[in-house]
Amino acid sequence: MSIFSPDTSLIIGYVKKGQFMLAWRICLSLSIVSSILIIVFAITNPHALPPLILVIIIGGSALFYLNKTLNVRPVFWLCSAGGTVIINIAMNTILDFTHYVDFLWLTICILIAFIGLGKKEGYFFVFLSILGIIYFFFFTLNTHIEILQIKSMSELIADLVEVAFAFLIISYLLQQFIKLQQHSENELKIFNDNLEEQNNIILTKSKDNETLIKEIHHRVKNNLQIIISLLRMQSNEMKTSEGEAEFKEAINRIMAMSLIHQRLYANKEISKIDLQSYIEELTNDLINTFTIYDNKIELIIDVKIIDINLNTIVPLGLLINELVSNSIKHGISESEQFEINIQIQKDSDTYRFNYSDTGNWKEPCKEKSSFGLELIDILTEQMNGEFNLTKENGTHYTFILKDV
């Protein structure tokens, strides 16, 4: 640690440390060089002393403030604003002194503002400097030229020292700016590399999870198929046609759920099911269970939803299963062509589900309630919905459903 390299252990962050070192070295260098120039100009040109004294006061105050607070932003404001004001005053009051070096000092003030304060503040000082230069050219320059005298060797040496020092400061500021830019680029590259590595890890885990979830759906589907097989075996043992029909209905309900897991396992995107193709496969499977009606049923399915919430697809599939089953069991007539129409569309935050067929469903016996109709009520309530039933020229259901 030296006078040009103060302790920065309490400062966190490469950029903040760099800005602190930049502010410290600029203030220290300006104070040292201004002190040297005061000695030179005290002999050659005493009129140039006041600006140099102000520079030493500003530099010393800034060094004291930096040492106490480690806060660089006010120092950059002080250097940029103070330097701009002092230079413009000197250019328009000290007329027997050449001012070409002052344009370099204005450039330094602008660079300090850009590096230490930011882009907006940098452009602000560009605007102030342009205004000062315009004033100097139109109101001071001619008088300044008339007053100028031939310079002595000592004055030329002093001017040369000041110009050289100004160029050194400009070079140092540009070098620090490039250094900070390179550091930022390196940090960004490291961040991007880490981000890419994290993304690869996440993608790998995501694929593993997707494979695991697909395997779960596959196993659930297989387990449901086993249950279906057991129910079919048990139905063959039934002594009555009524009991066999009830087993068939239970099998169809389980198949509606099994089909969902089968599609989730087969899909590339495990969170989505093509609702149109799911309903088509489900209804065709149901029709195939009643082979005597296979050629008489015309299906019209119009689904204007690409995919649907997975928590909603299960009760919706069961609902469609009950409706189609009831249509075939209670509405179809052997002598007429039969039509089933399914339409689903989304209206804002609800689903409009229209179901109709061309038959008139038989009413259940008063002594025995219909489990299928009760299940329609339960599933509609589960989807936070309601429905309207009309029986004119067939059976017509209109459901308004919400996502589960």
Q: List all residues 6 or more positions away from 141 whose beta carbon is below 8 Å from its beta carbon.
A: none
Q: List all residues 6 or more positions away from 324 whose beta carbon is below 8 Å from its beta carbon.
A: 282, 283, 286, 287, 340
CA 15 from centroid of its chain's CA atoms: 26
pLDDT score, position 367 = 45
What secondary structure letter does DSSP report for 94? -
What is each CA distance from 402 to 83, 170, 322, 326, 378, in whole angstroms? 69, 68, 19, 23, 14
Token pair in block for residue 341: 């129409």
Count Cα atoms within 13 angstroms, Cβ side, for 176.
25
- Condensed to tens digits (0 to 9), the pLDDT of residues 325-379 reads 888 877 776 656 788 899 999 887 888 999 998 877 766 554 445 677 788 888 8
Q: Is domain 292-404 in CATH 3.40.630.40, yes or no?
A: no
Angle (nearest 5°) at CA 352 between 349 and 353: 140
Q: List all residues 6 or more positions away from 7 whose beta carbon is below 8 Å from its beta carbon.
A: 1
Percentage of residues in the chain having pLDDT higher than 90: 11
Percentage of residues in the chain having pLDDT higher than 70: 84
Give me the mean pLDDT over the 59-67 stretch: 85
How far is it, in rounded angstroms, from Cα 205 to Cα 200? 9
Give me the mean pLDDT over the 37-58 stretch: 77
Give the three-class secondary structure for 71.
coil
How far is it, in rounded angstroms, from Cα 53 to Cα 38? 8
Give me the mean pLDDT over the 380-401 stretch: 88
Residues forming CATH 3.30.565.10 domain(s) in the chain: 292-404
In terms of Cα–Cα distance, which of 256, 255, 263, 299 is closest to 280?
Answer: 299
Q: What is the pTM of this model?
A: 0.49
Q: List all residues 6 or more positions away from 302 whose beta carbon is below 8 Å from its beta carbon.
A: 342, 343, 344
200 pLDDT exceeds 60?
yes
